[in-house]
Amino acid sequence: MNLLPIPAFSDNYIWLLHDGKQAIVVDPGQAEPVLKVLARLQLQLQGILVTHHHADHVGGVEALRQATGAPAWGPAYETLPEPITRVQGGDTVDLLGGPWQVIDVPGHTSGHIAFFSTGALPQPVLFCGDTLFSGGCGRLFEGTPAQMQASLDALAALPASTQVCCAHEYTLSNLRFAQAVEPNNQDLAQYLEHCQSLRSQGQPTLPSTLQTELAINPFMRSRAADVISAAVKHDSQTQPQNPASVLATLRQWKNVF
């Protein structure tokens, strides 16, 4: 089984998983790059997985469906290109590499979901859309800090070896912010150096792993003493014993960083 990030727009990744014959794609904001890869590798598209309703994640769904006949699955409570099979937390999708476990991860949008499999690859794999980024998390467009905290906690409970397949190449900017929060985090310093090397060679920084994110991502570390201290120093209204309050401060800080 092969996992490929297909670049789209300026910084999106459309994830494609294939076994040499069949393929699935996740969050195809554009159809053309996907169709080119399918043709080049002579793959048949078996299905389309959608994590949330934003245009840069669903814009290519209809064209892909028309070109390939592939069905699509997406969040139960968001406006999506029909026809689409609606799924929510606790459901499973039986596609290539599955079953794919659906996890509710509201915060970035109110109905955001993620897809998780332990069988697709030697390491577990998570398609998390715009909920979790390497070194960061999504903006809270529709959800609350408490929802995002609960969503990140749900992802943190997955196996540490899980490959984190997020939908944007935001890693370097996220890590610069993370260093402002935790300047003494040596794991973070080493990871930034690693990611800078990858980008200098034109390589993606993704997938990350949950083990890495738990060590370097301030939004996954809202209970860590240094992260709490930085949040309180940035905004004295932060409630240090409330992880969602710490996350809220971090997110507002990142928005203007």
Q: Which of 18, 52, 53, 112 is catalytic?
A: 52
Residue 56 annotated to the active site = yes
Instruction: Note the pLDDT tens digit of each residue in 139-149.
Output: 999 999 999 99
How confident is the model at residue 12, as a pLDDT?
A: 97
Annotated catalytic residue: which of 18, 53, 112, 168?
168
Q: Which of 18, 53, 57, 112 is catalytic?
A: 57
* Per-residue model confidence as pLDDT tens digits over 72-91: 999 999 999 999 999 999 99
pLDDT per residue as tens digits for the range 179-208: 999 999 999 999 999 999 999 999 999 999
Give the whole-angstrom CA distance, residue 204 versus residue 171. Answer: 9
Kindly state the average pLDDT of the residues 221-240: 98
Q: Specify whether 187 is catalytic.
A: no
Q: Is 168 a catalytic residue?
A: yes
Q: What is the pLDDT of residue 127?
A: 98
- Once rounded to an integer, what is the mean pLDDT over residues 51-73? 98
Asked if 52 is an active-site residue, the reply is: yes
| pLDDT above 90 as % of the chain | 99
Q: 112 catalytic, yes or no?
A: no
Q: Which of 56, 187, 234, 235 is catalytic?
A: 56
For 93-130, the pLDDT digits (tens) are 999 989 999 999 999 999 999 999 999 999 999 999 99
From 18, 53, 54, 112, active-site residue: 54
Q: Which conformational region is residue 138 in: left (phi greater than 0), alpha (psi within -120 to 50 degrees), or beta? A: beta
Distance (Å, whole) CA 160 – CA 162: 5
